[in-house]
Amino acid sequence: MLTLNPMPSTFNKFLLFKKWVMIFMIVFCITTFFGIPSAYALSDSKQIVLDAWTLVNEGYYDPEIFDEIKWKKIRQKTLQKSIETTDDAYSAIEEMLKPLEDPYTRVLRPKDYELLKSSNLGSEINGVGLQLGVDESSRKIKVISTLAGSPAEDAGIASGFFIETVDGLSALELGLANTASKLRGEKGSKVLVQISTDEGEIKEIDLERRSVDLRPVRTKRLRDESHTLGYLRITQFSESVPKKIEEALQELNEKEVEGIILDLRNNSGGLVSSGIAVADSFLKEKLVVETKNRDGIKDSIISEKNTFFDGPMVTIVNKGTASASEILAGALQDNKRSALIGKQTYGKGLIQSLKSLSEDSGIAITVASYLTPNGNNIQGRGITPDKILDFSEAKDFGSSDDKWVKDSEIYLNSLLDKVDEKYAKDPIVITNEIKEFSKDDELIN
């Protein structure tokens, strides 16, 4: 008779040992892969770092770079560092993002995050009024534009200048986010900035920080003997701008303006969604922009059916016109809705998404690139106006001394004169006339 032996055989003991070895190996590999010690959970500060890594990993527009820079190893090495405080976490994230070589993908500490959210809502900010970017070739911190009425504008700092140092610290070493942060501060406090002009001249300027009224939309009526025109300036694309534009155009329509001068000079961008929404006010069921995400999928954005102004217009741009304002300018130009006059635009064709981290901080991540309706990629190139203006710009945009606005008036008056009076109230004929006439640069002096 055969009986079962309750004691494990030598072979069974070997199988049991092998099982435990495999379990240990699996746990060890998972722990090593994620770079997280198995004995304890991540601290709050390290969790911030891991959250930032995950957001970039899931959203960054160019995932092919991850293999090149060994992105997973960067996460592992970063989490193995001593990260005790939230400040340690922000510094670790900054180091972690450096291999991407994308200045627009950056961590935003609480003060900077709150300031960025406030500016997107269109309120006041405390600072010197500089909109900054990074030069494609030198990687130096470059002035995109200055805010109207700001200390930077009053000091003569202009688009194209470079920030060399802030309070003696190298802007090149600080990077974009930290340079911008150093320039901000309490109202009445001062900051010493060393700048270099595009001709190479070095200057040191002592700037006093103050409240700058962003006032993103400004309008006025321009009248002469023959025509009434509307002047519409957008200084940035904050959340409130599309509604403000609708109200401004309604007011100008009530004043019976016949044409619009749209001024996008020194508009460094803001919310892309806001810039696209403004295009709805001028373009009827036209392609505004194509965005290309990390999967190579193009998303075509078409303007709405109803517009708020369909008469003749001209758009002024300069080298401070960037990002969301370039999307709008490119859409107007490519759809032959408006001629562009002025100077080459800045050339920022990347779109960032703002995500929240803990401790009231955030992270900006480049999630897509965009193309104008004609398929032009403006990153690092900008948009070429239909007419280049070589003479200098006025210090106060839209003032009576602004020659660029005067040139725009000449253009629009000529355009209105060309449309036959018997067709003046027929939008279809006017639109066709505008399309043909906008190709003639000789009337812009």
Please give the positions annotated as active site.
Answer: 323, 334, 348
How far, in Å, CA of 386 to CA of 315, rounded?
Answer: 10
Q: Which helix (H) or strand (E) holds 176?
A: helix 171-183
Q: Which residue has the tokens 């960037």?
A: 322
β-pair partners for 108: 362
b (16+ CB within 10 A) / e for 41-75? ebeebbbbbbbbbebbeebbbeeeebeeeebeebb
260 burial class (0-12, 13-18, 19+ CB within 10 angstroms)? buried
Terminal Cα-to-Cα distance of the chain (whole angstroms): 114
β-bridge pairing 259-263 and 228-234: parallel
Sign, Cα dihedral of 81, 87, 93, 99? negative
What is the CA angle 439-443-445, rounded to 5?
120
8 A C-beta contact, residue 301 and residue 354? no
Structure tokens at 290: 């194509």
Structure tokens at 108: 């935003």
8 A C-beta contact, residue 271 and residue 320? no
208: helix, coil or strand?
strand
134: helix, coil or strand?
strand
Residue 270 phi/psi, 5-degree rounding, is 120, -135
Q: Which residue has the tokens 């859409």?
A: 331
Single-letter code of the amino acid located at 416: L
β-pair partners for 165: 170, 194
How far, in Å, CA of 352 to CA of 379, rounded?
Answer: 13
Backbone Cα Rg of the chain: 28
Nearest to 347 by CA among 330, 360, 332, 335: 330
